[in-house]
Amino acid sequence: MAANKPNKLAFLSMPAPASYVAGLGRGASGFTTRSDIGPAREGPSAEAVAEAQARRGEEAEVDPEQFQDPDNEFGLFAGTTYEADDEEADKIYDLVDQNMDARRRVRREARENEELAKHRAERPKIQQQFADLKRGLSAVTDAEWENIPEVGNLTRKKRKRDERTFVVPDSVIVGDRAKGEYENSLDDRQQANGGFETPADAGTLTNFVEMGQARDKILSLKLDQVSGTSTTSGLSTSIDPKGYLTSLDSVIIKSDAEIGDIKRARMLFDSLVKSNPKHAPGWIAAAALEEHAGRMVAARKLIKAGCEQCPKSEDVWLEAARLHNNDDAKVILANAVQHVGQSVKIWLAAADLEHDVKAKKRVLRKSLEHIPNSVRLWKETVNLESSAADARILLSRAVEVIPLSVELWLALARLETPERAKAVLNKARKAVPTSHEIWIAAGRLLEQEAYAKVKSDGGERDKTEEERNKELDLVDKTIEIGVRELRRHQVLLTREQWLKEAERCEAEGSPRTCEAIVKATVAMEVEEEDRLDTWVSDAESAEARERVGTARAILAYALRVFPDKKMLWRKAADLERTHGSRESLNAILERAVHHCPQAEVLWLMWAKEKWLAGDVPAARGVLANAFASNPESEQIWLAAVKLEAENGESGAARELLVRARTVADTERIWMKSAVFERQQGQISTALETLATAISKYPKFAKLYMIQGQIHQSQKNFAAARASFAAGLKACPKEATLWILASRLEEADGKSIRARALLDKARLANPGVDILWAEAVGVEERSGGAAQAKTVLARGLQECPTSGLLWSMAIWSEPRPTRKSRSADALRKSADDPLIICTVARLFWAERKIEKARQWFERAVKINPDLGDVWGWWLKFERQHGTPEHQEEVVKKCVAAEPHHGQTWQPIAKDITNTGKSIKDILVLVAAALH
């Protein structure tokens, strides 16, 4: 049995396989022990491993990058030559990759921004949540701030107390023991000698008066030393008793850190001036440091050394003069002139030190002997002259010495008479042919002469219009020649520079020169296809800068080039209406209709201006001419009807409407005919007109609205319901018609039918906010506040940017949460005028008057056609504003002519308010708002 058993250790006597390495299976290819110092055994070589794998029938693993040169390309073309074609192909592929990435990047960045905005809206930063509270800190008063309690220790941690003890000295104990004792007997020595006596020399007494005088004398000596003017008596002082304490307040008490900084800076500057004594800024900085440290004597010594080391530096001399008093500064600058006689700054500083005008003149004239070509010195010298004759003499000499100074030539021309000024400007033009200021000055001189009076036999008289226009034409020619001459001398000013010069001329009271500059230069550097847009933009920017003359000149030039552009004529008319006179506006409109006879709006503007001026026959004449040019114009017919109706000519207005229905025959004319008859009280005629109009224009919703409203006003609810039903069947997309039908049912006491109608309306017209607002109103009027809030929430989901719904949502919130709700509304729709108006009303409720006024103004700027916003603003000003503020609101509202608004439209279209002005309607709206 034992013989048949296999020997498990037989492998120990066998030879090892060829590729065997001890411990290789467990990851060890060789090891070194403490007794075996030297390299461990190496593993099998690559050849041995490959041989063993081949013996087992395994294939050797081939590394794909085994023979790859890292400096060369990968892949199939690794061995080819990199040529110019390859480089171009690589560039094309790189460009394609960049374009693809850019196209994706726009979408990716947009998506990321959207996600970030959504995240910020859902989870705002703490800083944003507390932003309104931080802004509210500006209203905290000093008293409230002082009453804020100090922060105590709220950590509830016990602090370690200092438990150290010290031994009390015996002297303290003894002293404390004797503290409460009383002496009840005299000392033995006192009893024997009769008391203690103080010995005195020869019985003399102390003189306290002399001691007080000596103390006063010492104090006065010290004060004299401080002031720097010690007196011989010692009893007088030069210190101002009133200003002494004030001067003590100005003493700067420096901290240890600042003193250390001064010492380090002193060492640095000391090293600087010693290593480079010819460096003037170093001396100036060192002296300034000593001045800052309060050591004026050291500063003066340093700057004196700087003047000796750098006598050619004007800055050192000026600093030295500044550090000394007036008399010493004069001596210093006199020395400076000896070394730097050509420095204008030193001569001007020397003149500033003089307080007498004659002395100043003497210094400046002396300076002109040394520096005759300094324009600044000549100007300062001329400014000191009190008489024009002396100044003229000086300037004559100045332009001889400095013929290239444009300023001096222009100053001389201003002092001369007009005739001699022309000669001066001609000389200046020859001396400086590259100056545009001289040409502009010549144009302004001609303009001034054109408006000057001329002498006649009886005295002086104004020039005739023909004479004045002839001379003003010379201004245009002069500027035109000037621009041409400047271009010939290679002086190329840009359009923007010329327009700035034109604006400057307008600001200085030369409108014709401004117009001449615009006429000569506004067409420069502008492509032919861009001229209209460029000129309109220039005119708008000039008007925004309140340069009306420049804007008027630009538009006048544009109208000469484009006389048939209706838009240009409207802009010119709007400019004249805002900034010009009624005569200039009439002149513009007369020219406009002459060049654009088919432009109905220009005819209507002209007729309206005539009517507003009170000239009704002239307005009729304008409309008659408009009829001749536009016989089938609906707007002109209606304007003529309105003109007659407003002036009480009902018969003429009715006749015009009959003719208009025959000639123009439009749905709007039929509607206005029905409205006119209704306003005149002819209800049956109005209903007949509406029936005829509906048969001709069954898709015009306003006809059904007027018909239904007439029946409703007569309490004929069945006929009104039939009219609205017919209208809804013909025009299901008209939201106003649905609202009127709903209000009819509500007026008839059938709120359920009104609610059902609005549900059908929202199905037919999804996303219309006024339908949701009306549904909320129905619920509120029927007493369902909770249901109203539910409907409002659904409406905001469907119309998330509706200002009307957000305004209702803000007011439906409790007072504390309205501010946060308004912030949400502004994030959703920041430029909606209704939201802006609501925020203004919130400021109004918080008594923030100025902020409320600013937000009301912002709201009407966004949309001036909303009459409700104007009404709220007027209501606010009536409560908190002045009469001037109220008048300004009314004036702006009349200029804006609003037509829309939930409160404005019913009041403006009420029959009882027919013929009332915008001001009257505004007052009624302000009273109706609540």
Mean pLDDT computed over 384-391? 77
Which residues have a Cβ under 8 Å from the Cβ of 888 and sit 6 or more positions away? none
Mean pLDDT of 178-183: 63
| Residue range 402-425: mean pLDDT, rounded | 77
- At 866 the three-state DSSP class reads strand
Alpha carbon of 15 to those of 10, 12, 45, 54: distances in Å?
A: 11, 8, 20, 20
Which of 159-168, 468-477, 479-488 has the weakest average pLDDT?
Answer: 159-168
Mean pLDDT score, 41-65:
69
Please state the three-class secondary structure of 52-96 as a single string. HHHHHCCCCCCCCCCCCCCCCCCCCCCCCCCCHHHHHHHHHHHHH
Q: Is the pLDDT assigned to residue 219 strictly greater than 80? A: no
- The pLDDT tens digits for 865-911 are 999 999 999 999 999 989 899 899 999 998 888 988 888 888 888 88
With left for phi above 0 and alpha for psi between -120 and 50, is residue 783 left, alpha or beta?
A: left
Name residues whose C-beta falls within 8 Å of residue 31's C-beta, 6 or more positions apart in sequence: 23, 40
The percent of residues in the chain predicted with pLDDT above 70, rounded, is: 84
| Whether the predicted pLDDT of 70 surpasses 80 | no
Structure token pair of residue 795? 């409406």
What rounded mean pLDDT belongs to the chain? 80
Distance CA 690, CA 720 (A): 13
**Tell me, what's the pLDDT at 389?**
78
Are 23 and 32 within 8 A, CB to CB? no
Concatenating the DSSP letter of every residue in 505-571 gives: HHHTT-HHHHHHHHHHHTTTT--GGGHHHHHHHHHHHHHHTT-HHHHHHHHHHHHHH-TT-HHHHHH
Greatest mean pLDDT among 184-193, 362-371, 887-896: 887-896
Spacing of C-alpha 153 from chain mean position = 46
The torsion defined by the Cα of 369, 373, 379 and 381, in degrees rounded to 10, comes to 0
Lowest mean pLDDT among 47-56, 822-831, 886-895: 47-56
Distance CA 677, CA 657 (A): 10
Nearest CA among 681, 611, 712, 693 for reference residue 914 = 681
CA separation for the pair 907, 920 (Å, rounded):
10
pLDDT digits (tens, 9 = 90+) for 753-797: 888 998 999 898 888 888 998 899 888 888 888 888 888 899 989
CA dihedral in degrees (46, 49, 55, 58; nearest 10)?
-100
Give CA–CA dist 861/893, Å, rounded: 11
**pLDDT for 398 beyond 90:** no
Let me know the angle formed at the C-alpha of 876 by 874 and 879, rounded to the nearest 5 degrees.
110
Angle between helices 833-845 and 849-862 (to 10 degrees): 170
pTM, 2 dp: 0.57
Cβ-Cβ contacts under 8 Å for 694 (sequence gap 6 or more): 700, 703, 704, 707, 726
Share of the chain above pLDDT 90, in %: 5
Name which of 254, 317, 247 is nearest 284 in CA terms: 317
3-state secondary structure of 254: coil
Write the single-letter amino acid at 600: E
Do the Cβ atoms of 878 and 890 come closer than 8 Å?
no
Q: How many angstroms separate the CA atoms of 727 and 734, rounded?
A: 9
Indicate the helix (H) or strand (E) that contains 461: strand 459-461
Do residues 612 and 636 touch, judged by C-beta distance below 8 A?
no
Q: Angle 326-339/314-323 helices, nearest 10 degrees?
A: 170
Q: Look up residue 919 and give its two tokens.
A: 């001001």
Q: Give the Cβ contact number of residue 909 at 10 Å.
A: 14
Identify the pLDDT of residue 854: 92
Structure tokens at 776: 């909320």
Four-residue CA torsion sign, 673, 678, 679, 680: positive
Tokens of 785: 């506040």
From CA 225, how far away is CA 220, in angstroms rounded? 9
Residue 829 and residue 801: Cα distance in Å, rounded?
5
Cα of first residue to Cα of last residue in the chain, in angstroms, is: 119
pLDDT at 673: 85
Residue-wise pLDDT tens digits, 331-362: 888 888 888 878 888 888 888 888 888 888 88
Q: How confident is the model at residue 158 (pLDDT cuts 50, 70, 90)?
A: low
pLDDT at 228 over 60: no
- Residues 482-495, mean pLDDT to the nearest whole number: 83
- 237-284 confidence digits (pLDDT tens): 455 555 555 655 555 555 656 777 888 888 888 888 888 888 888 888
Q: Which amino acid is at 509?
A: G
Residues in the chain: 930
Tokens of 241: 């008793």
| HSE, side-chain direction, 13 A CA sphere, residue 830 | 1
- Please give the Cα distance from 769 to 797 (Å, whole number): 11
Average pLDDT over residues 666-673: 85
pLDDT > 50? residue 109? yes
Query: What is the helix, strand, coil percentage profile of the chain, to 5?
Result: 70, 0, 30
